[in-house]
């Protein structure tokens, strides 16, 4: 797990570039210039751009898992959903970034199978977590929706991803627009 310091810098800058401009929207040169190293150094750690993409999805997914576990360990049901939405909002709030996996999902036809599968795992993991949350909320009376937890989960994830996508294109007050849609979606469950 202990990753080299340069590799870390690369991952951080690459993540930002990917979430802002997409997989086909940045180059090794962009990263190298921003970090202050040469492109060959990036290739040393991530031989191909596909390797870099996979590392980014993996790291993003892992970080997400940790946050989800944190949320689950706390009290509240509706609050969980709001904290969950906040994870996405944070991307938007700093540099108007899109969800890393949402971005790659839009470029799915330019990606290798292994990256594609890593994105699918991110989405299914999120739907699974949300589904469990919905089921719990239905049990304890927090959510009044009678639809199947799986369906509501898929709906929520779609709404959140779509809300980011559209809010981001508005550019101005994108966080506010995202928050409105999210609050509306949560409201209609309670």
**How far are the Cα atoms of 46, 108, 138 from residue 117, in angstroms, in the given order?**
19, 10, 31
132: partner contacted, choices a copy of itself, DNA, none (Cβ within 5-8 A by kind): none
Among 12, 22, 39, 82, binds DNA (CB under 7 A): 39
6 contacts DNA (rule: CB under 7 A): yes
**How far are the Cα atoms of 54, 90, 157, 183 from residue 107, in angstroms, in the given order?**
14, 22, 18, 28
Among 11, 13, 14, 26, binds DNA (CB under 7 A): 26
Choice between 27 and 148, CB closer to DNA = 27
Q: Closest distance between a copy of itself and the C-beta of residue 75, in Å?
A: 27
110 contacts DNA (rule: CB under 7 A): no
CA angle 114, 117, 120 (to 5 degrees): 155
The position carrying tokens 């969980």 is 80
> What is the Cα 185 distance to its own chain's centre?
18
Of the candidates 2, 114, 129, the residue with the CA atom closest to the CA atom of residue 58: 114
The DSSP call for residue 1 is: -
Which residues of the shown chain bind a copy of itself in the complex (CB under 8 A)? 20-22, 24-25, 96, 98, 102-110, 116, 119-120, 123, 145, 147, 151-152, 154-155, 157-163, 165-166, 168-171, 177, 180-181, 184-185, 187-188
Which residues of the shown chain bind DNA in the complex (CB under 7 A)? 4, 6, 26-30, 36-41, 43-45, 47-50
């Amino acid at each position: 797990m202990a990753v080299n310091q340069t590799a870390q810098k690369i991952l951080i800058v690459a993540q930002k570039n990917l979430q802002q401009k997409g997989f086909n929207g940045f180059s090794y040169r962009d990263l190298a210039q921003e970090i202050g190293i040469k492109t060959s150094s990036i290739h040393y750690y991530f031989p191909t751009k596909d390797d870099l993409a996979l590392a980014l999805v993996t790291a993003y997914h892992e970080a997400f898992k940790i946050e989800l576990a944190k949320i689950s360990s706390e009290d509240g049901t509706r609050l969980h959903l709001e904290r969950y939405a906040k994870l996405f909002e944070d991307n938007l709030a700093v540099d108007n970034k899109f969800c890393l996996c949402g971005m790659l999902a839009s470029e799915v036809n330019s990606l290798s199978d292994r990256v594609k599968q890593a994105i699918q795992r991110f989405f299914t993991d999120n739907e699974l977590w949300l589904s469990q949350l919905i089921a719990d909320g239905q049990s304890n009376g927090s959510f009044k929706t009678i639809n199947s937890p799986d369906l509501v989960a898929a709906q929520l994830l779609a709404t959140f991803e779509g809300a980011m996508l559209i809010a981001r294109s508005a550019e101005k007050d994108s966080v506010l627009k995202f928050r409105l849609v999210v609050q509306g979606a949560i409201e209609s469950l309670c």
